[in-house]
Structure 1
Amino acid sequence: MVHRFPPISFFRRALSLVLLPCLLVACYSFKGISIPEGVETAAVPNYVDNAIGAPPTLHLDLTESLRNKVRDEARLVITEENPDLLITGTLVDFRVTAEAARAGDETAAFSALNRLTIVVAIDFKNLQKPADDPGNWKQNFSFFFDFPGSQTLASVQDEAIEEISRQINEQIFNKAFADDW
């Protein structure tokens, strides 16, 4: 014997079509970001390059990746004229350090593990608020990428910079848009 379910009424179908999008929207979040009412634009001028030994376009690449993140995830319009938010940055440090000596070779010229570290200083201002508002801040952000001592920086540099940039931008974005305003 085959059991057939009773046909779904027009009302149930209509209700399902209304509730399904609501449930799907409820599943999506903006990662807990908080943007004050009235804030619609941001300016992210090119970073100042104060890091010795950094690739010549790194400060520009970091600037553009932060612009993209603010535009795409905070949904703010990037503008240079009358912005609501001003996010200025300085590339402070770009350095490679030896992190681990090779086992059994205390006099080795090469380490077993090297670390590329990038540091940026960010000055965040909500131009709709007074300069001394607690929503305005300055902070350094850094991240690193470890790579084997047997590899050169040149062989891992693109991958390392991409990963470090992604992590630093996530830190900046969270500080700017996930903290309480």
Structure 2
Amino acid sequence: MKRIIVVLVLFAIMATYSSCSVTLNGASIPAEMSTVDVEYFDNNALFVVNNLSQNFTEALKQRIRSQSRLSIVRTPEADAVFSGAIIAYNIAPVSVQATGNGNTPPIANASRLTITVKVKYKPNNSKKGLEHAEGYEQEFTKTADYTGDIGSQEQALILNITKQLTEDIFNKAFADWK
């Protein structure tokens, strides 16, 4: 009998809160929000990888499609807009190995790829139900360490970092709803 009461109480609490928002994979999205516009993220980094902008933009769209009920649209009337740019793409050594003699410079034993994206997320506050929705403008940075030549690993590293970045961007926009 106690289990039935507990289940009914939990069901009543969930029903009360579900009228305000929809939750999926930890995301809380207002019921009034149904569309989002993801603008193209230009690569403004000093070092440009040809497919990085396209791949990042598509990865963010895919993250939204797979983890929410939102539709991706290209219109100023969208319920929210993601915009921004890739602002840094850097490769730097993280550990150095000395060579055998004093005349040869040390070589990088491991290196780190770092990608930084500046993102602006803006809900359409003129729409009913979204008047108090908050946006943000923030930089997101992720890294991946590797050994050896970057050429054979670069696309896999970019994919890994992109996955982490889009997760952070999605969570910042939709897991911070109050």
- Give the TM-score taking structure 1 as reference length: 0.76
Match of 1:99 in 2: 94
2:121 is equivalent to residue 121 of structure 1:
no
| 1:50 paired residue number | 44
Identity across the alignment (%): 28
Which moved further from structure 2: 88-97 or 105-114?
105-114
Instruction: Map 1:7-86 to 2 at 5 A.
Output: 30-81=24-75, 82-86=77-81
| Runs of 5+ unmatched residues, structure 1 | 1-21, 23-28
Aligned residue runs from structure 1 range 132-143, under 5 A = 135-143=134-142
The amino acid that maps onto 1:137 is Y
How many residue pairs were aligned? Answer: 151
Q: How far apart in 2 are the matches of 1:174 and 1:163?
A: 17
In 2: Cα distance, 1:134 partner to 1:116 partner: 35
Separation of aligned partners in 2, 1:104 and 1:163: 31
C-alpha distance in structure 2 between counterparts of 1:129 and 1:123, whole Å: 17
In the TM superposition, residue 102 of structure 1 has moved relative to its aligned partner by 1.2
Q: Say if 2:175 is the partner of 1:178.
A: yes
Pairwise CA distance, 1:104: 7.0
Question: Segments of 4+ in structure 1 off by > 3 A?
Answer: 103-109
Question: Which secondary structure state, in structure 2, belongs to the residue aligned with residue 154 of structure 1?
Answer: coil
The whole-number CA distance in structure 2 between the counterparts of 1:89 and 1:35 is 21
Match of 1:10? none
TM-superposed deviation, 1:53: 1.4
Gaps of 5+ in 2: 1-10, 12-22
Query: Cα RMSD over matched residues?
Result: 2.3
Computing the radius of gyration from Cα coordinates, the structure with the larger value is 1
The letter for the 2-side match of 1:154 is G
- Cα deviation, residue 96, structure 1: 0.1
Name the structure with the higher strand share.
2
